[in-house]
Amino acid sequence: MQVDLPIEIPRVLIAALRGGSGKTILSIGIIAALCNAGKKVVPFKKGPDYIDAGWLAMAAGRSCYNLDTFMADDRLVCRSFLSHASQTDNTRNDIAVIEGNRGLYDGLDVDGSTSTASLSRLLNTPVILCLDCTKSTRTMAAVVLGCLHFEPDIQIKGVILNRIAGPRHENILRTSIEQHCGVPVIGAVPKLKSHDFPERHMGLIPTPEHSWAKSSISAAAEVVGKYVDLTEVSRIAKTAENKPFSCSVDLNDELLLDASSDQKDVQIVSVDQPVIPKIAVIRDSAFQFYYPDNLEALAAAGAQLVYISPLTDTTLPKIDGLYIGGGFPETHAKELAENIKFRNEIKAAAEGGLPIYAECGGLMYLGKSLVLDQTYPMAGVLPVEFGFSKKPQGHGYTIATVDVKNPFYEIGTVLKGHEFHYSKVLEWHGKDQDMIFDMQKGRGIINKRDGVCYKNVFATYTHIHALGMPEWAETLVRLAKAFRLKTED
């Protein structure tokens, strides 16, 4: 049955004119400040970004879910938002805060496909526009007016001025925007003297890499509490309360996600499941890029998840499968190389048929070596050597078609994902036939190919989202069950 559901939870989307405008720091501060005020805040990140989502999660004290209409269709994105924004553990959430990406209207084409604006329209959510006001005054009113008229159905309900030079600068901006645009200015944040959120090549640095992450979030909350009207933020969010999504939701669809499963060690096992495979997830400051949806999908498919680390563990536990996500192995190359026993056990497990699925940083770890200031040996499972570049070697959404037989994906399967890496292939000692993806969009590993397959090992630069590829989790769990049964014989 298709119905238009009124979505009870207040919700707001923080957007900007471009990347680098400060919307992530403002989103972090807004979420943390609302939490400090006793509100139950549900964070979301528009698009495929892992790092911003990690900061938003830490600010809210709960998982942040990515909403991406390229990797999953509109209906599934609506279901994801609905399941996670609704009440949790019989407690009603107070507000959902979504951080956009890039500019409000930036998308894949001239129609703005997959833009932040399109997500606002899909979820019927009002927008607060963050403006970088550096070296500009009245012109910003013209910019806001253009945004209001560019797609008139987008609900721009408030403006936050960022990087204000002083009271006179703020007054001209505030008066110009409110007089010419009729949109309230709900905050004016000055240029910050200290850099509480240092940046690296992929936006904000990952939270697990620094012990001062929590103090940085506290600083952002303090700034927002001082310069942004949180009462107005809540009022704008409430304007969306009880408004339906723009797409219909099928109530007979089984929810892919369990809204109450918000713990790190997710374990959801059916009572009639005779085989419960144990799948290890390498999760630490070197490998930290995981969508919560992916981990929950593995658990929902019947796996028990355990978390391990080649930075702290010396041996590989008894497991039936392994998932290695992305991250920054290059910043931990020395430690990874020095854990020789762990590397050797990974290689032995791969040779023994252990199902292993690796993405980006995981792909690098499974290679022969990583060449930086010197050559660091990696696990040596795959015949490839990696180097590092100062510029992105792959950046953006990907479309791949499976054209080689393999244990993970049927031939003809089309995958939509994304890649973002600075690593590059220095030496590839395999054959193109060892890679199962033909890249229609994106760079892949080499020669427009991606997805190295060896025995039950699969490694790729392409990150996938379980909402858009539900068969991924089912397949990995099935292979882990088969491995479990084989090793028990």
CA distances (Å), 337 to each of 106, 132, 142, 360, 365, in order? 41, 43, 55, 17, 9
Residue 195 pLDDT more than 60?
Answer: no
- Spell out the residues 6+ positions from residue 346 whose beta carbon is closer than 8 angstroms to its own: 310, 316, 322, 356, 366, 379, 381
Enter the tokens of residue 412: 């003809």
* φ/ψ (deg, to 5) at 335: -65, -40
**How much is the pLDDT for 6?**
59
**How much is the pLDDT for 208?**
53
8 A C-beta contact, residue 343 and residue 366: no
**How much is the pLDDT for 433?**
85
For residue 303, give the DSSP letter. P
pLDDT band at 313 (very low <50, low <70, confident <90, very high): very high
Residue 362 pLDDT more than 70?
Answer: yes
Each residue of 204-230: pLDDT tens digit? 566 555 667 888 899 899 999 999 999
Enter the tokens of residue 189: 């944040």
Out of 3-7, 96-100, 151-155, 364-368, least confident range: 3-7
**How much is the pLDDT for 205?**
61
- Domains, the chain, with CATH or none: 2-250 (3.40.50.300), 278-488 (3.40.50.880)
* φ/ψ (deg, to 5) at 239: -65, -20
Each residue of 48-78: pLDDT tens digit? 999 999 999 999 999 999 999 999 999 999 9
8 A C-beta contact, residue 143 and residue 17: yes
Each residue of 404-432: pLDDT tens digit? 999 999 999 999 999 998 899 999 999 88
Each residue of 83-130: pLDDT tens digit? 899 866 667 899 999 999 999 999 999 999 999 999 999 999 999 999
**How much is the pLDDT for 326?**
95
Concatenated DSSP letters for 327-374?
Answer: E-GGGGHHHHHH-HHHHHHHHHHHHTT--EEEETHHHHHHSSEEESSS
Q: Which of 48, 459, 62 is nearest to 289 (CA)?
A: 48
313, 318, 323, 324: CA torsion to nearest 10: 20
**How much is the pLDDT for 213?**
80
The catalytic residue positions are 360
Residue 202 pLDDT more than 60?
Answer: no
